[in-house]
Copies of this chain bind each other. A is one copy, B any other.
Amino acid sequence: MKKVFIYGTVLGFLILGLKFAEYRFLIKSNSFEVYAGLIAILFAIVGIWGGSKFVKKKEILVVKEVLVQPTENFSVNENNLKQLGISKREHDVLMLMAQGLSNQEVADKLFVSLNTVKTHSSKLFEKLNVQRRTQAVQEAKKLGLVP
């Protein structure tokens, strides 16, 4: 509420300024209507300016909810990884698998053969106690092994 006094003071000085000007030149060189009009315009502007400062306080909160995948600020749950005995390479395969890549695509990305990927994923399924890659991805996400 400190601002109230600030604006009040500003208004006070403006009025003083007007009264001072009244006895100087404005009242002498202009008609009454012009003077009244100037006051009107001036204070309308002051009102708009000052008013906006207060009205801005009455913010209209528009809360827009945005769905965000927990991909950011993700860190692998190393504990679960160790618990299940999942090796580094197996985890690599799991990560790419979770991105929807085929075994062949994973093999290409990791510069290994298709058979190697199959071996890794097979052991992976055993450790995750699942049968299919889709289930593996689900389980891995639940365990915080992949984003």
CA distance A11 to B37 in the complex (A): 11
Q: In the complex, which residues of chain B have a beta carbon less than 8 angstroms from the beta carbon of A15?
A: 37, 40
A110 on the interface (CB 8 Å rule)?
Answer: no
Total count of chain A residues near the partner, CB < 8 A: 57
A residues 24-56 with Cβ under 8 Å of B? 32-33, 35-37, 39-52, 54-56
Question: Interface digits, A6-35 against B, CB 8 Å rule (1 contact, 0 not)?
Answer: 000001001100110010000000001101
Most chain B beta carbons < 10 A, residue from A33, A48, A49: A48
Nearest residue (CB) in B for A48 is B51
A99 on the interface (CB 8 Å rule)?
Answer: yes
Q: In the complex, which residues of chain B have a beta carbon less than 8 angstroms from the beta carbon of A50?
A: 44, 47-48
A66 on the interface (CB 8 Å rule)?
Answer: yes
Interface pairs (22), CB distance under 8 Å = A11-B44, A14-B40, A22-B33, A36-B36, A36-B39, A43-B43, A43-B47, A44-B46, A44-B50, A45-B47, A47-B49, A48-B48, A49-B51, A52-B54, A55-B56, A64-B64, A64-B66, A99-B138, A100-B132, A101-B134, A102-B131, A133-B134
Residue positions of A touching B, CB distance < 8 A? 11, 14-15, 18-19, 22, 32-33, 35-37, 39-52, 54-56, 58-70, 97, 99-102, 130-135, 137-138, 141-142, 144
